[in-house]
Amino acid sequence: MAPKHKHNDSLDPLTLAMAPPPNETSEQRAKREREEAEALQVSRRIDAELKLAKIALKKRKDAVQVLVLGQSMSGKSTTIKNFQMTYAQKAWSEERASWRAVILLNLVKSVTTVVDILSETMESAELLTTESQGSGKKAQPLTPLNENHRNIIRRLGVLRQIERDLKMLLGSGASEVEDPNEGGDNGPQFNPSRIQEFAVRSSSGWKDILDRIRNPSQGKESEAQRKAFQVISSCRDDILLMWNDKSVRSVLKNREASLEDSPGFFLNDIDRILSPNYEPSDRDIVRARLRTTGVQEYTFTLDRGNHTAVDWIIYDVAGVRTSRAAWIPYFKEITALIFLAPLSSFDETLAEDPRINRLEDTFMLWKTVCSNKLLAKVQIILFMNKTDILKKKLESGIQVNQHIPEFRDKSNDYDTVANWFKKLFKRLYFANTTPGREFISHFTSVVNTEATSQTLAAVQGAILRSDFVNTGLL
């Protein structure tokens, strides 16, 4: 009989290393076999996860990826809300009730804005009255506001705490201006050193916030919302008294505070919003304002047009100047880019930098996007948005040439102004774009959901027809 070691010599070192130890007891053997079975299970799970990750990566590569860009308040999230409403109806209806907290905050903010304007007006009138009394002149009433207004303002003071509570509930996007600790600088638009920082920060857009409101942890969120609803309801009469008061309206007019056209304006809907069974309508949701922070991703499955489905991934980003570096990593991935240019902003300045005219900032961004090499093969679609507000502004007599001298003495009517802006975008496009890339643009008002659904259908067609898709890359 051959000696034992001779037999082992014929085995490879791996088999030897894995062989059960000699003199193994039956308990040791059972333990070893249990551990081996567990290890096998872990290995199979990892294999399955890798397979799924590979499929997901392939699905992602095959998807139409669209980045929506534009300055803050240009209507990016509102455009994506329209996509969601049309193509992801289940998610849209599931989120409906959660928008109530955002709408309550928007309402409270409008009230506190009016209160601030009235308080300032009364204070400066008092100061002037005291000065003129000191000089011995006869005192003239310098404001139509009186003691009744002062009492209303005092009573509405309780809404300050409600505003703070709702902001806490909704996170940093609930404030228009970034928290300075949140990582902003006033530097150039595309600062590569900031990419990493923004790319790793987890997204906290409205989708995450709405999920949190829908699934409150220990009832905290719903409690804040319930209290807000109660307190705002108790202030209803004072809010209406103030908002419907002729003197208040004349003060607001003198201060050129056009609240009705400001984002998230719900004062005219207060009774509906404060009814116990209130559920936000589609129109309420597209009008609600919540600033995007970070980058948010939405997935839809759309018909390719020939009854085959294709996944779309749409990225929503923050538009404030300090967050624009976070856009760059997405430039390499995307199929198409929708650029939001709010035409109505010709007489406004940026919230984050009041020295800069909003429309100038948009033109500058547009030029950067058209000339960017990473975007050379990307189909760019321009939405000249907020046309409804542009119309109203022009009708109210606001002159474009007072804010953009290059407009000179052209007629200040909507068609002339809108087409002149379009010409400027087109000119900048052709001066900076990749040769041969088509110029696609739409005049939009993305709060008008019916008109926008038609625009989105056209956008879908244009993207699927684009060369990039048709060269077989998708």
Ligand X SMILES: Nc1nc2c(ncn2[C@@H]2O[C@H](COP(=O)(O)OP(=O)(O)OP(=O)(O)O)[C@@H](O)[C@H]2O)c(=O)[nH]1
Which residues lie near ligand X (CB under 6 A)? 70, 72-78, 263-264, 286-287, 289, 291-292, 318-319, 340, 385-386, 388-389, 445-447
By beta-carbon proximity to Mg ion, the closer residue of 85 and 156 is 85
C-beta of 146 vs 454, nearer to ligand X: 454
292 is in an annotated binding site: yes
In whole angstroms, give the CA distance from residue 343 to residue 420.
11
Contact partner, 437, from Mg ion, ligand X, none, Cβ < 5-8 Å per class? none
> CB of 46: closest distance to ligand X in angstroms?
39
**Chosen from Mg ion, ligand X, none, partner binding at 362 (C-beta under 5 to 8 Å by type):** none
Residue 149 near which of Mg ion, ligand X, none (CB within 5-8 Å, type-dependent): none
Which partner from the list Mg ion, ligand X, none does 294 bind, CB cut-off 5 to 8 Å by kind? none
Give whichever of 336 and 341 is closer to ligand X, judged by the CB atom.
Answer: 341
Q: Does 79 bind Mg ion (CB under 5 A)?
A: no
CA 260 to the chain's CA centroid: 21
Residue among 105 and 118 whose Cβ is closer to ligand X: 105
Q: How far apart are CA 386 and CA 446, in angstroms?
A: 7
Within residues 292-311, the interface with Mg ion by CB under 5 A covers 292
Of the candidates 86, 65, 77, 67, the one whose C-alpha atom is nearest the C-alpha of residue 338 is 67
Is 62 assigned to a binding site?
no
Give least dist CB 272 to ligand X, A.
17
Would you say 353 is a known binding-site residue? no
248 binding partner (options Mg ion, ligand X, none; Cβ < 5 to 8 Å by kind): none
Site string (237-276) toward Mg ion, x via CB under 5 A: ----------------------------------------
Give per-residue burial for 139-149: e unless 16+ CB within 10 Å, then b. eeeebbbeeeb
Q: What's the per-residue H, E or C state across 21-73?
A: CCCCCHHHHHHHHHHHHHHHHHHHHHHHHHHHHHHHHHHHHHCEEEEEECCCC
293 annotated as a binding-site residue: no
Instruction: By CB under 5 A, tell whether 77 contacts Mg ion.
Output: yes
- Give the span between the Cα atoms of 394 and 447, in whole angstroms: 19
- Report whether 463 contacts 335 (CB < 8 A): yes
Q: How far is the CB of 342 from ligand X (least distance, A)?
A: 7
DSSP string, 330-356: HHTT-SEEEEEEEGGGGG-B-SS-TTS
The answer on whether 455 is annotated among ligand-binding residues is: no
Kindly state the smallest distance separating residue 292's Cβ from Mg ion, in Å.
Answer: 3
Q: Indicate the burial class of 327 (C-beta count within 10 angstroms; 0-12, 13-18, 19 or more).
A: buried
262 is in an annotated binding site: yes
* Rounded distance between C-alpha atoms, residue 460 and residue 474, angstroms: 14
CB of 76 to Mg ion, least distance (A): 5
Interaction pattern, residues 37-66, with Mg ion; x per rule: CB under 5 A: ------------------------------
Cα(239)–Cα(151) distance, integer angstroms = 12
Q: Let me know if 368 is exposed, middle or buried by CB neighbors in 10 A (0-12, 13-18, 19+).
A: middle
Q: Which residues of 172-204 are buried (b: 16+ CB within 10 A; e: fewer)?
A: bbbeeebeeeeebeeeeeeeeebeeebeeeebb
- Give the shortest CB-344-to-ligand X separation in angstroms: 7
Q: Which positions make up the binding site for GTP?
A: 261-262, 385-388
Q: Which positions make up the binding site?
A: 261-262, 292, 385-388
Q: Which positions make up the binding site for Mg(2+)?
A: 292
* Residues forming the site for Mg ion (CB under 5 A): 76-77, 292
